[in-house]
C-alpha cells in the first residue's frame, strides 16, 4: 500500500475526531502485517487529561483486535508540515514498533515526512530493558 493510500484512510479517521475543546482534528491509520487497517481519531474530554490522541486510538484499536505486528502508520492533521506525534504517543508506539515500521507524518496539503520510531524517540526506554 502506498503512503498516500494509508494517509487517505487517516483522513477518513480524522473526520471522526471528537474535539469540542481544541477543534484540532487528527486522524491516524495503521496497517498491520495481517493486511488489516485500523483507524483512530483524537477523542477529547472535559477533564482534558484523559484525552486520547489519534495515534494511540489507532494502535489500541489494533492491539485490542489481536494485532501485534505492523507495517506502517499514517498520521494526518491540518498542520504546516506533516503532523508529528506527541511524546506520550511516541512512547506507546515504541512498545510495538521497530525500525521496519514506516511512519508517515502528513498534512492536508499532501506533504508527507517519513520517519522511523528510533528517529522520533532516540535513547528510549523500552521493553528491551525489561524482557
Q: Looking at the annotation, which residues are catalytic?
A: 55
Residue holding cell 494502535?
59
Per-position x/- string for 83-102, each x denoting binding to ligand THU as judged by CB under 6 A, each - no binding: x-xx--x-------------
Looking at 8-16, 21-29, 93-101, 118-126, which segment touches ligand THU (CB under 6 A)? 21-29
Q: Give yes or no for residue 59 binding ligand THU (CB under 6 A).
A: no
Q: Give yes or no for residue 14 binding ligand THU (CB under 6 A).
A: no
Q: Give yes or no for residue 45 binding ligand THU (CB under 6 A).
A: no
Figure out which of the listed residues 7, 13, 26, 31 binds ligand THU, where binding follows CB under 6 A.
26
Interacting residues toward ligand THU by CB under 6 A: 19, 22, 24, 26, 42, 44, 51, 53-55, 83, 85-86, 89
Amino acid at each position: 500500500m502506498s503512503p498516500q493510500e494509508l494517509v487517505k484512510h487517516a483522513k477518513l479517521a480524522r473526520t471522526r475526531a471528537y474535539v469540542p475543546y481544541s477543534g484540532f482534528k487528527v486522524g491516524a491509520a495503521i496497517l498491520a502485517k495481517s493486511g488489516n487497517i485500523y483507524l483512530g481519531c483524537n477523542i477529547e474530554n472535559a477533564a482534558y487529561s484523559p484525552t486520547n490522541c489519534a495515534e494511540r486510538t489507532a494502535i489500541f484499536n489494533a492491539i485490542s483486535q489481536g494485532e501485534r505486528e505492523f507495517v506502517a502508520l499514517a498520521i494526518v492533521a491540518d498542520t504546516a508540515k506533516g503532523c508529528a506525534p506527541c511524546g506520550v504517543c511516541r512512547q506507546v508506539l515504541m512498545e510495538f514498533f521497530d525500525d521496519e515500521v514506516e511512519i508517515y507524518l502528513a498534512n492536508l496539503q499532501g506533504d508527507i515526512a517519513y520517519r522511523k520510531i528510533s528517529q522520533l524517540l532516540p535513547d528510549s526506554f523500552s521493553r528491551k530493558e525489561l524482557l
